[in-house]
Amino acid sequence: MIFPLFLTLQASWLTVCQATQHYPATWGHYDLCKSQGYTEEGLTWYYMACQPEAADMTKYLKVTLDPPNITCGDPPETYCTLENPYMCNNECDAATDELAHPPELMFDIVGRNPTTFWQSTSWKKYPKPLAVNITLSWNKTIELTDDIVITFESGRPEQMVLEKSLDYGRSWQPYQFYATDCLDAFTMEPKTMKDITQHTLLDIICTEEYSRGYVWKNDKTVRFEIRDRFALFAGPKLHNMASLYGQLDTTKNLRDFFTITDLRIRLLRPATGATMVDENNLSRYYYAISDIKVHGRCKCNLHANSCIYDKEKLTCECEHNTTGPDCGRCKRNFQARAWSAGSYLPIPKGTANICMANYAGPVIAPQVALSTVPSVQVANSKRARVCDSELLRCQNGGVCVNYVRCQCPPAYTGLLCEKPRCEKEPGGCGGSDSGQASLHPPSLILLLLLGGVFLTEICWITVL
């Protein structure tokens, strides 16, 4: 009897996969905040967690340089190449469009042939450090979704720091250090992304990977690896995003690690190509950046599926009766349930954590832990709502009892009936005493239910 059910599941799976293949890869799980459906009472809204589509965030930033007069061309300069000190035919003149290298050329899409780039003045004040701070500001919280990639037209810096701010530039913390010699530059042992594990993901490292060796002609990029960090939870091909979302949902420090309002690139020492600086030809040493990539999305606390850019400002289009630039509070007269961020869990749709309208009656207190919720029925109590049948928050067939607990079917447990009970049994949900691969009815039901969780990821693997 099990085998025909597998055939039915497989056929249904392929049908749904084919139906979703027309969506772009960035569609994800949370493209809609709400959708309409019919219940016994008629047409109603179903709410879910959601987030804006990921995009190229360099379209929306403001760039500033410190010192502000560090860009080349005023007065005009002639530069020599690093690999050939006698080839000095590169000009920079801020008054001539074809020879100017202003900061906005770090982000232009269509440029001059062969390439466009920002360029600093040369190291003509040696031995005083040639130090430049490049600050990228969004005036909005951003969640990073892909690697930060900086492409240098010059040699890659011998010393550099990438920093982030979570408070609009009032304070800064390092993301990563880069150097040809980490011990000498920053008194740190050199590491690479391969040294990072789930338990050390939040560690700040110094890497020599993008600075050591005179190889800048072959590879001009410097990276801060976001996808590799995601892969520690979601797998090498990011096929198990449910695992990553579960970690993000329950670990604030992890969410904050990928959240920024500003980025700062601190260039501390240019490429020299040798152990000694040629003091007689300092026009060989400078910084030049042709491209910076920052891929991410507006942070809307899983309460908005779109973010608009108007009057040079990004703002979430909030749902779930929330408001604010990040959907970070309840609307006026919607504080009957205290605000909280939306939840990825239960995946894939998530929990909306919608703000509820005020009403005449007792004030609802802040949310309480599950251990404090009594198992007996309580009529319209002062405790916060643990579940809400209207929003379908109890999972896997669970029933919300008086807003204070989910009455779960025999096969499930947990606050929202989200955990298979067999996980606590010997051998787990897939184990058997005989060691033979068998599928018991509860396990089959679990497979059918969890199929929807990982459907999108597996569909995309099928498409790719």
- Give the CA dihedral 114, 116, 117, 121, nearest 10 degrees: 80
The single-letter code of the amino acid at 278 is D
Position 389 scores a pLDDT of 55
SS (H, E, C) the chain: CHHHHHHHHHHHHHHHHHHHCCCCCCCCCCCCCEEEEEECCEEEEEECCECCCCEEHHHHCEEEEECCCCECCCCCEEECCCCCCCCCCEEECCCCHHHCCCHHHHCCCCCCCCCCCEEECCCCCCCCCCCEEEEEEEEEEEEECCCEEEEECCCCCCEEEEEEECCCCCCCEEEEEEECCHHHHHCCCECCHHHCCHHHCCCCCEECCCCCCCCCCCCCEEEECCHHHHHHHHCCCCCCHHHHHHHHHHCHHHHHHCEEEEEEEEEEECCCCCCCCCCCCHHHCCCEEEEEECEEEECCCCECCCEEEECCEEEECCCCCEECCCCCEECCCCCCCCCCCCECCCCCCCECCCCCCCCCCCCCCCCCCHHHCCCCCCCCCCCCCCCCHHHCCCCCCCEEECCCEEECCCCEECCCCCEEHHHHCCCCCCCCCCCCCCCCHHHHHHHHHHHHHCHHHHHHHHHC
**Residue 426 Cα distances to 45, 218, 421, 440, 459, angstroms:** 41, 55, 11, 14, 32
pLDDT of residue 234: 92
pLDDT along the chain (464 residues), means of 10: 41 33 34 66 76 93 96 94 84 94 87 76 95 97 96 93 96 96 96 95 95 65 96 90 89 94 97 85 93 96 93 93 94 90 85 80 39 38 52 72 81 80 73 38 35 34 30
CA distance 13 to 34: 24
Give the pLDDT confidence score for residue 163 in this predicted structure: 98
The CA distance from 348 to 322, in Å, is 21
Q: Whole-angstrom Cα distance, residue 285 to residue 136?
A: 24
Give the CA distances from residue 364 to residues 201, 383, 403, in Å, rounded to whole numbers and listed in that order. 38, 6, 11
| Residues 384 and 393 sit within 8 Å (Cβ to Cβ) | no
| pLDDT tens-digit readout, 374-415 | 333 333 733 445 676 555 467 788 888 877 778 888 888 877
> Which tens digit of pLDDT belongs to each residue from 260-276?
999 999 999 999 987 78
Q: Are strands 118-119 and 55-56 parallel, antiparallel or unpaired?
A: unpaired
CB 396 within 8 A of CB 390: no
The pLDDT, as a whole number, for residue 160 is 98
What confidence score (pLDDT) does residue 448 get? Answer: 34
Q: What is the pLDDT of residue 25?
A: 32
- pLDDT at 142 (0 to 100): 97
Q: What is the per-residue pLDDT across 178-205, written as a single tens digit (0 to 9) for each?
A: 999 999 999 999 999 999 999 999 999 9
Torsion angle, CA of 243/244/245/251, rounded to 10 degrees?
A: 110
Instruction: Set out the domains of the chain in order of their start, with CATH numbers.
Output: 55-298 (2.60.120.260)
Q: What is the pTM of this model?
A: 0.71
- For residue 297, the model assigns a pLDDT of 95
